[in-house]
A and B are shown apart, each in its own frame.
Chain A
Amino acid sequence: MDVNIIYNVEHEMPLGMAIALYFYLTGLSAGSFIISTFAYGFGMTKYKPLGKIGVVMATLLLVIAPIILLVDLEQPLRFWHLIIYLRITSPITWGTFLLSLYPMNCIVYGYFMFMGDMKKTKIFGLIGIPLALLVHGYTGFILALGKARVLWNTAIMPPIFLVSAMVSGLAMMILVVIIKDYFVQRNKERNPDLIYDLAKLLAASIVLDLILIGIDLSVLLTSHTEAYKAAVMLLAGEFALPFLGIEVLLGAVIPLILILSPFTKRWIPALALASVLVMIGILAMRYIMVVGGLSIPLS
Chain B
Amino acid sequence: MSAEVAMKRNLGRIYALQAKTEFLKVWRLPMYAIPTLAFPLMFYLLFAVATNRGTGQAATYLLATYGAFGVMNAALFGFGVGIAVERGQGWMLFQRATPMPPLAHLFGKLVMATLFGALIVLILSAAAVTLAGVRMPVGTWLALAGTLVSGAIPFAAFGLAVGYWAGPNSAPAVVNLISMPVSLASGLWFPLQMLPSVIRKVAPFLPPYHYGQLALGRLGLGEDVPALYSVAFLAAFTVLSLLLAWIGYRRDEGKTFG
A and B co-occur in one complex: no
- Taking Cβ atoms with an 8 Å cutoff, the residues of B that contact A are none
A contacts, CB < 8 Å to B: none
